[in-house]
Amino acid sequence: MTDLRLDPIPGYTAFPGPVVLLILDGVGLGRRDESDGVFLAYTPALDALLAEPLSARLKAHGTAVGLPSDDDMGNSEVGHNALGAGRVFAQGARLVNEAIAGGALFQGASWRSAIARGLAGGTLHFIGLLSDGNVHSHISHLFAMLGRAAEEGVRRVRVHPLLDGRDVGERSALTYLGALEAELQRLNARGVDYQVASGGGRMVTTMDRYNANWGVVERGWKAHVLGVGRRFASAREAVETYYREDPAATDQYLDSFVVVRDEAPVGPIQDGDAVIFFNFRGDRAIEISRAFEEPDFAEFDRVRVPDVFYAGLMQYDGDALIPKHFLVEPPAIDRTISQYLCAAGVTSFAISETQKYGHVTYFWNGNNSGYIDERLERYEEIPSDRVVFDQRPWMKAAEITDATIAAIQSGRYKFIRVNYANGDMVGHTGNVPAIRVAVEAVDLALQRVLPAVRAAGGVLVVTADHGNADQMFTEKKGRREPMVAHTLNPVPFVVKDFSGTNRWSLAPLDGGGLSNVAATLLLLLGYQKPSDYDPSLLALE
């Protein structure tokens, strides 16, 4: 049995209030110039906190959060994994890279079953995000699987690319489609039949998350499975047409499309086929996986449910076992801070709106759904608006703050964790005025939470999971291009102790990261860190 005991800290004095962790999603520390939405926004609360003596800059990307290299931007999933786990685990892209390089992916039972369907005359389908953003997917993983399928004799493959424009340039779809077309042409020279069949922008086709808008998944199902959607001779023609019809359109919001030949769809998914969803990140892959696998599925009318072998690149929900079949084992994250706190009898409260609710629960808890101990924990989800987020850049910051203040004043919770989604979700739109409003909405929330923590005699901790709003655009040859992806910038870390019961100092760490936060929270709560947790960012004087 896993030992989850926590040892108390000698000389620590308990205080009446809670430890309140605010995660300002997508709020990094940028260049402090006109491209930096965090710097430009009016943020008196955040500015004052950043001037506190217990303030530091943390790494939130690359190897610091388990990604392959420091050229890889962080994301909310790996960020919350690191925050909740207290140490770094190899994450999605790195795991897949290793499985491909070592051949394990192609030796597993799921890959063998998918190939068997292709060899028996079925079509092998690949659905996923087509880019090298390395947040949800990487185009190199798709190319490796396409090449291996051809080597193993699969004659017919159909690709259903979802267009990015969020983790990469906002109108870069034609670049990635061009690379895919060239790869398919190279493989077709061997005498196989590999084509693009359907697709669409990621925010309107297939990749919904947290049950926010099942119409997105239904639109994908119609295009990929039923062959229903606006028809084009090629994916390239679809994108070029959408660009021409709306010069302001960006890839992530392009409508779905279906590729046709002789007035018939070239690749609807049929009985006897195999389907591989090639995203490695889970949040936007769960719902489409459910549509393929659940016999009693009721979120929308599927019309026709083909008998297929379905597999994810990874298992996207380990508790719910979604999907049942997958190509690469996910990281096994154990002994999260929440498990330790529950074992110690510490009460906790977690809250965000729909877009980030899974991050302060599922990802924080090591990719595990549900409560660890329902007697000690309470999770609250505020439903997100169902609009493009630059239309409501304040999002649900006010409602989250209302509930957070109520939780603080209740006195029931010793540890409270909160995610404000604005900086990330609005940052992804590239809308400069809206990004500044989003950051200011979060600062208004800070201004309200601060006095509540002070009145309760608690400790406030402020950080972020990655950057986004801190770089709104880039400049190339004097021309500004919207920057809608996450950044490589550090994120803030601030502790404001209103209890006055202990004296803290910054620990002499060389290059702290998000994984150091868990030990810091344990210290503030009066517990020594587990031996294998990364060190605390603070020391008790």
Residues labelled catalytic:
76
Own/partner contacts of 375-378, CB < 8 Å, gap of 24 or more, are: 376/341, 376/342, 376/345, 376/346, 376/347, 376/348, 377/338, 377/342, 377/347, 377/348, 377/349, 377/350, 378/348, 378/349, 378/350, 378/407, 378/413
In this structure, what DSSP letter does residue 310 have? E
What the block records as the tokens of 450 is 């601060």
Using DSSP's 3-state secondary structure scheme, residue 165 falls into coil
What whole-number distance in Å separates Cα of residue 115 and Cα of residue 17?
Answer: 58
Contact in structure between 469 and 28 (CB atoms under 8 Å) = yes
Contact in structure between 494 and 52 (CB atoms under 8 Å) = yes
What the block records as the tokens of 171 is 């109108």
Q: Residue ranges of the alpha helices (H) in 213-311? A: 214-221, 235-245, 286-293
In this structure, what DSSP letter does residue 391 have? G
Contact in structure between 157 and 118 (CB atoms under 8 Å) = yes
Phi-psi region of 431 (alpha: psi -120 to 50; beta: other; left: phi over 0): beta
What the block records as the tokens of 260 is 């046709």
Residue type, 510: D
Phi-psi region of 168 (alpha: psi -120 to 50; beta: other; left: phi over 0): beta
| E strand intervals along 82-134 | 124-130
* Buried b or exposed e, range 126-161, using 16+ CB within 10 angstroms: bbbbbbbbbbbbbbebbbbbbebbbeeebbbbbbbb
